[in-house]
Chain A
Amino acid sequence: MQALPENEPASPQLEAEQHVATTSHSRWRWLVIAVPFLWLLVFFLAPFLMVFKISLSGQVLAIPPYAPQWDWATGLQGLQAFWQELSLDNYIWLSEDELYWKAYLSSIRIAGMATLLCLLIGFPMAYAMARAPKRMQPLLVMLVILPFWTSFLIRVYAWIGILKTEGLLNQFLLGLGVINEPLVILNTNIAVYIGIVYSYLPFMVLPLYATLEKLDTSLLEAAQDLGCPPLKTFWTITLPLAKPGILAGCFLVLIPAVGEFVIPDILGGSETLMIGKTLWVEFFSNRDWPLASAVAIVLLAILIMPIMLFQRQQQKSAEVGL
């Protein structure tokens, strides 16, 4: 839209007309930018400042349940008093109670492990999709997307009936005679892994497919013709070329999975420590808004690097028109 005619204006009158057009043009341009920009500033960025402010407050029995409150009417003096009441107590509490550290570490471990499993299951799928006949590919992509359109909560819920002690998986395995006693899977970390892999698999497969589909097969044929063994071709050609897809898929699974609440809550057990659930309990059960805010700020600090890497990677692939 910013493209203006590049050819030289023919007359001074035309030049003046164009000048008018350019200034009104740029005013409109800023107006168009401002609408989504302001919305995101108010409803995405500003809320984080609120979370940070409240993470420095203390819990009180009131509505809203935190103090100090800052009243515009009290002016500069009020601001000073407000400022002095803020403290790092919640962060000190977080660092001293080992429950929180364990929850952060175990969230990262569970999410990392689930991401790896997603990659191991998703890569062969994406590879097979990219190698399938061209006219079948849209249907296959559709089949990967379709579960994503159906409710997340419902898909997680569906696993309860399968993984229960008297559930379908155990009935099936007992019937086959593979096991003699039912396996305990529901309410363990294994169930959480299954839940995360199941829910996030489309996020892994789609970016992988997008890069593998563009992969130049003549390179693979050349390697094969020159006598390169298939496994070596995979390591030296396919994998490096698929790197953008692998990165995008891993970020799309890992980052949200670290803060996941629904899956550990429904499928996990008492041993399952995940920070998303800790935050939920602090907020809804203990009504400790300031502590929940501090938990969120530390989680954000952990995730900010991967999020920025993800954004850079997305911007790069958007620019090359992926």
Chain B
Amino acid sequence: MTQRSSWFNITSLGLGFAFLYLPILILVIYSFNASKLVTVWGGFSTKWYAELWQNQQLLDAAWVTFRIALVSASLAAVLGTVAALVLARFGRFTGRTLFSGMIYAPLVMPEVILGLSLLLLFVAVGQERGFWTIAIAHTSFSMCYVAVVVQARLAGSDRSLEEAAQDLGCPPFKTFFVITLPQILPGILAGWMLAFTLSLDDLVIASFTTGPGATTLPMKIYSQVRLGVTPQINAISTILIGLVTLGVIIASLLAKRQRLAQTKRG
């Protein structure tokens, strides 16, 4: 390729990544700002982090959010994997179009519609709202993300092994657990992590489906943001960003180790 086009490529990547990362970087830097004014640098300080530990309401909200994410990601991983299996391996069946529509539509459906519709369902059946209604709402939309991720993995996995096992008389369930599951496990784990962060992150759907006593961290952050920008929010944000980055790095290292082990075995 020509020199000119490679310069163009490098510039567009550089600018693109600067656009994606500078705001996050600035947010992190200003969480260590001693000044209360978010845009004026007043020296290095960790006092906002110390203040966070005093804020019991915030810690409670973080704990609720974490538990909801754990429950909904695990449910979504199971349901999403089964849904992916149905889409990728079950061929045609009555209602397949409706089924795949219900998998793909939530990926793009505006959150206000999802939130409102689930709330109206919970009200109609007289379900008291709180922890479980948020967890169910999160499961319902994040299982679709899991299904898409796992389906991609299933499409790339080797089917001849499954067919060989079945030809040799291995029952379908055993084939799944012994042959298919190990192959798609990285996909399921990636889906679980995605579902977990989607749940941690969600403000809109949680706001609709919440009830007394179940205030999540995004709801807490949102109400503080509405009052104005404070360094404390920067500090919480930095902690969350740090945790997510750590999780992603660990996951990718594990995936790399598994790939290496596989190539050695192969």
Cβ–Cβ contact B89 & A262, under 8 A: no
Contact of B248 among A41, A125, A149 (CB under 8 A): A149
| CB within 8 Å of A: which B181-221 residues | 197, 200-201, 203-204, 207-208, 218, 221
Does A102 sit at the interface, judged by CB under 8 A? no
Query: Chain A CB within 10 Å — which of B10, B86, B245 has the most?
Result: B86
In the complex, what residues of A have CB within 8 A of residue B204's CB? 261-262
Judging by beta carbons under 8 Å apart, are A261 and B111 in contact?
Answer: yes
Q: Which of A39, A144, A205, A276 contacts B112 (CB 8 A)?
A: A276
**Binding site of B, secondary structure by majority: helix, strand, loop or mixed?**
helix
Q: Is B87 an interface residue (CB 8 A)?
A: yes
- If the complex has contacts A36-B79, A293-B120, are A258 and B39 also in contact, measured as CB distance less than 8 A? no
Q: How many angstroms between the C-alpha atoms of A276 and B111 in the bound complex? A: 9
Find B140's partner among A43, A124, A284 (CB 8 Å cutoff): A43
Chain B contacts with A in 124-168, Cβ cutoff 8 A: 124, 136-137, 139-140, 143, 147-148, 151-152, 155-156, 162-163, 166-167
Chain A residues near B8 (CB-CB < 8 A): 124, 128
Are A45 and B102 interface neighbours, CB within 8 A?
Answer: yes
Nearest opposing residue in chain B for A54, CB measure? B120
Evaluate contact between B107 and A124: CB separation under 8 angstroms: no
Q: Does residue B241 face the partner (Cβ distance < 8 Å to A)?
A: yes
Q: Determine whether the beta carbon of B110 is less than 8 Å from that of A260.
A: yes
Is B121 in contact with A125, judged by CB distance below 8 angstroms? no
Interface of chain A, main secondary structure: helix
Evaluate whether A318 and B155 lie within 8 angstroms (CB atoms) in the complex, with A48-B117, A149-B248 already known: yes
B27's partner among A154, A293, A307 (CB-CB below 8 A) is: A154
Chain A residues, Cβ within 8 Å of B244: 149-151
Min CB gap A111→B, angstroms = 10
Take A124-B8, A154-B221, A154-B241 as given contacts and tell me if A39 and B104 are in contact as well, using a CB distance cutoff of 8 Å.
no
B82: which of A35, A283, A284, A315 is its contact (CB, 8 Å)? A35
| Docked-complex contact B110 and A303, CB < 8 angstroms | yes
Within 8 A of B (CB), among A140-196: 140, 142-144, 146-147, 149-155, 157-162, 164, 166-168, 171
| B39 lies within 8 A of A168 (CB) | yes
Contact A311 B121 (CB under 8 A): no
Partner of B30, one of A2, A161, A258: A161
The answer on a CB contact under 8 Å between B12 and A128 is: yes
Indicate whether A36 sits within 8 Å of B143 (C-beta atoms), given known contacts A47-B121, A262-B204.
Answer: yes
Asked if B237 and A32 make an inter-chain contact with CB atoms under 8 angstroms apart, the answer reads: no
Q: In chain A between 5 and 36, which residues have their CB closer than 8 angstroms to a CB of chain B?
A: 5, 25, 28-29, 32-33, 35-36
Bound complex: CA of A280 vs CA of B111, how far in Å? 11
**A296 contacts B116, C-beta separation under 8 Å:** yes
| Chain B residues whose C-beta falls within 8 Å of the C-beta of A43 in the assembled complex | 118, 121, 136-137, 139-140
Residues in B neighbouring A230, C-beta threshold 8 A: 5
Question: Known: A33-B86, A293-B120, A311-B100. Contact between A125 and B237, CB under 8 A?
Answer: no
Q: Give the interface size bracket for A toward B.
A: 35 or more
A131 to B248, CA, bound (A): 25
Please give me the residue from chain A that is nearest to B40 by CB atom.
Answer: A166
A222 at the interface (CB under 8 A from B): no
In the assembled complex, which residues on chain A have CB atoms less than 8 Å from the CB atom of B136?
43
Structural contact, B16 and A37, CB atoms closer than 8 A: no
Contact of B110 among A64, A164, A299, A311 (CB under 8 A): A299
Contact residues in B for A127 (Cβ distance below 8 Å): 9, 12
In the assembled complex, A252 has its CB within 8 A of some CB on chain B: yes
A150 touching B240 in the complex, CB below 8 Å, given contacts A1-B89, A50-B117: yes
> CA A284 – CA B115 in complex, angstroms?
12
Q: B85 contacts A1, CB within 8 Å?
A: yes
Say whether B237 contacts A129, CB under 8 Å. no
The verdict on B44 contacting chain A, using a C-beta distance below 8 Å, is no
Contacts of A201 in B (CB 8 A): 16, 19-20
Is A146's CB under 8 angstroms from B110's CB? no
Of A161, A289, A299, which is within 8 A of B113 by CB? A299
A259 touching B39 by the CB < 8 A rule? no
- Residues of A at under 8 Å CB distance from B? 1-5, 25, 28-29, 32-33, 35-37, 39-41, 43-48, 50-51, 54, 64, 121-122, 124-125, 127-129, 131-132, 140, 142-144, 146-147, 149-155, 157-162, 164, 166-168, 171, 198, 201-202, 205, 230, 251-252, 255-256, 258-262, 266, 276, 279-280, 283-284, 289, 292-293, 296, 299-300, 303, 306-308, 310-311, 314-315, 318, 321
Q: List 19 A-B contacts (CB under 8 A).
A: A1-B175, A2-B90, A32-B86, A33-B99, A36-B82, A44-B106, A51-B117, A64-B123, A124-B8, A143-B20, A154-B240, A157-B225, A157-B237, A158-B23, A161-B27, A171-B39, A293-B116, A296-B116, A311-B104
Smallest CB-CB A-B distances: 4 pairs: A259-B110, A47-B117, A128-B9, A124-B12
